[in-house]
Amino acid sequence: MNTFEITDLDLFYGENQALKSIQLDIPKKQVTAFIGPSGCGKSTLLRTLNRMNDLIAGVRIKGSVRMEGADIYSDVDVRKLRMRCGMVFQKPNPFPMSIYENVAYGQKAQGVKDKKTLDAIVEEALRGAALWDEVKDRLHSHAFGLSGGQQQRLCIARTIAMKPDVILMDEPTSALDPIATARIEELMEDLRKNFTVVIVTHSMAQARRIADKTAFFLMGELVEHGETEQIFTNPKDKRTHGYITGDFG
Ligand SMILES: Nc1ncnc2c1ncn2[C@@H]1O[C@H](COP(=O)(O)OP(=O)(O)OP(=O)(O)O)[C@@H](O)[C@H]1O
Ligand SMILES: [Mg+2]
């Protein structure tokens, strides 16, 4: 079962083609990693999945992206799509408010008012992001008082609290130290049980540790994708081999 089916996808920024005829299935409740050198189109492809590229002037898209059968560029309401596909960015970006309010924010915006309900959602989301034990005694402190790694887990909690189907992550650990990175990598084990996760990473070691499937991109093309173990131990394309062995950067 696939969450996304991407068919013949081309994306242009003005005259420049950033994605070339991408064909890729993204399986449900698995972790898929996008790897490849800077500028190859990883973030661009990630953003096509919740139509974040719509916000960029001059973007043109051809081909289709289906989410559970529905074409997200014609059959799906963009607001609902973005609620179903939460996003976590490279730099932790908590809102300037308390830990609790950060996590409750989306549900409140949806009209949930009952304190018990919100409390339960906040606790569940913070547990889901492996942050509860560290913050349960200071839920009403300002989020900016957390460490970078805690802030990133808070952003994951904020995403989980909206009960999405998909979590899109663009280099979520690149601004974190190795310990905070390890915490997030451990968390991926739990996230994959409940969510389809797509993660862009520059760390091949990270892709290898956390991803079920890996897709390798070069200059807007999907060179190869498959089981992570196969991509790293027995790539079919010599360009993939070159990249994973560090022959070119
Ligand atoms: N907003 C934009 N406007 C115009 N061109 C863009 C825009 N965003 C990306 N591009 C171009 O599209 C191509 C793919 O960029 P993208 O950011 O998707 O690459 P990436 O693989 O995520 O790179 P990195 O690893 O450096 O984050 C690049 O040539 C880039 O310059
Ligand atoms: Mg990028």
- The enclosing domain of 86 has a CATH number of 3.40.50.300
Q: In this structure, is residue 48 part of a structural domain?
A: yes
pLDDT at 249 over 70: no
Tell which residue, 169, 184, 189, has the closest CA to residue 131.
Answer: 184
User: How many C-beta atoms lie closer than 10 Å to residue 117's C-beta?
Assistant: 12
Q: In this structure, is residue 44 part of a structural domain?
A: yes
Which residues are in the CB-under-5-Å shell of ion ligand 2?
43
Total number of domains in the chain: 1
| Ligand 2 geometric centre to CA of 89 (Å) | 10
Strand spans (E) along 146-212: 166-170, 196-200
Task: Output the pLDDT for position 170.
Answer: 97
> Are residues 4 and 65 in contact, defined by beta-carbon separation less than 8 angstroms?
yes
Taking residues 204-214, report their average pLDDT: 97
Could you list the residue range(s) of the whole structural domain that residue 233 is in? 2-244
Q: In this structure, is residue 186 part of a structural domain?
A: yes
Task: Output the pLDDT for position 205.
Answer: 94
> Are residues 24 and 6 in contact, defined by beta-carbon separation less than 8 angstroms?
yes
Taking residues 165-188, report their average pLDDT: 93
Q: In this structure, is residue 249 part of a structural domain?
A: no
pLDDT at 207 over 80: yes
Rounded CA Rg of the chain: 18
Q: In this structure, is residue 124 part of a structural domain?
A: yes
Q: What is the DSSP letter of 142?
A: B
What single letter denotes the amino acid at residue 216?
A: F
pLDDT digit string, tens, across residues 57-89: 999 999 999 999 999 999 899 999 999 999 999
pLDDT at 247 over 80: no
User: How many C-beta atoms lie closer than 10 Å to residue 77's C-beta?
Assistant: 9
Give residues (CB < 6 A) around ligand 1.
Answer: 13, 18, 36, 38-44, 56
Tell which residue, 128, 188, 130, 187, has the closest CA to residue 162.
Answer: 128
Helix (H) or strand (E) holding 24: strand 16-27
Q: In this structure, is residue 147 part of a structural domain?
A: yes
